[in-house]
Amino acid sequence: MAQPVSPSGLTKSPAIILVEPQMGENIGAAARAMANFGLVDLRLVNPRDGWPNERAIASASGATHITDRTRVYDTTEEAVADLSFVMATTRRERDMLKVVRGPVEATSILAGYEQAGSRTGLLFGRERWGLTNEEVALADEIVTLPVDPKFASLNIAQAVLVMSYEWRKVVLGEEEVTPFSTPDAIQAAPKADLIRMFEHLERALDAVNFFRPPEKKPSIVRNLRTMLQRAQFSEQEIRTLRGVIAALEKRETRPSAQKSDESAD
């Protein structure tokens, strides 16, 4: 039996097999989910409205590299005939002696087989009632999603999306990889700029009698400075905030960073 692996850069992927899908929109949404996460082999078993399907192609939102290559089969047996290892998705417990896995472990197992050169597949059942016991019996193992048992019904395209996402994480070889990252840290403004902003804000608050009662002003000022300092404002952010304070003071112009502290305040 193949063991769980995380083969970064794996180019092969499991076949996604939809058994007797009823709605073209669901087929298209499944194709779109596959495209989002790098799967390409979509197979349909006896789709109710035939194939090709205009609604499916429209719902695929441009994933034509998948819909153009989608293959249609008369039976589930034919759809899995060239595969060496198949997992059946189901939310119901079956009276079968089969290994049951969650999506994370399942995709890792599938990747192990693919990396070893064996073709694999994931079976998804009908929108209304899933896979028959006979169809589940064709699979080597079962994969089920950790849904809330009080509302376990999952749209077929959503199920494909979840498994495709987990597959993508295995392929990338990392638990969490995003197409873009947090910007590089912006250098915090000098403390002198921060202190001038504090003093500017405090004068503006004094002008509207914010510090009440007066004897509590020192503690309120400390709390304000503590809160604002945690933000680690950049120089540009300090200038923006001082402009906001100036606007609240109804000044015609904002404080300029080029002026002296006296003229700015």
Exposed/middle/buried for residue 183 (C-beta within 10 Å: 0-12, 13-18, 19+): exposed
pLDDT tier for residue 11 given thresholds of 50, 70 and 90? low
Task: Say what the pLDDT of residue 146 is.
Answer: 87
Domain(s) of CATH 3.40.1280.10: residues in the chain: 15-172
Specify the CATH architecture of the domain 15-172. Answer: 3-Layer(aba) Sandwich (3.40)
Mean of pLDDT values over 213-230 = 92
Q: Which amino acid is at 24?
A: G
Mean of pLDDT values over 258-262 = 44
Task: Say what the pLDDT of residue 189 is.
Answer: 87
Exposed/middle/buried for residue 55 (C-beta within 10 Å: 0-12, 13-18, 19+): middle
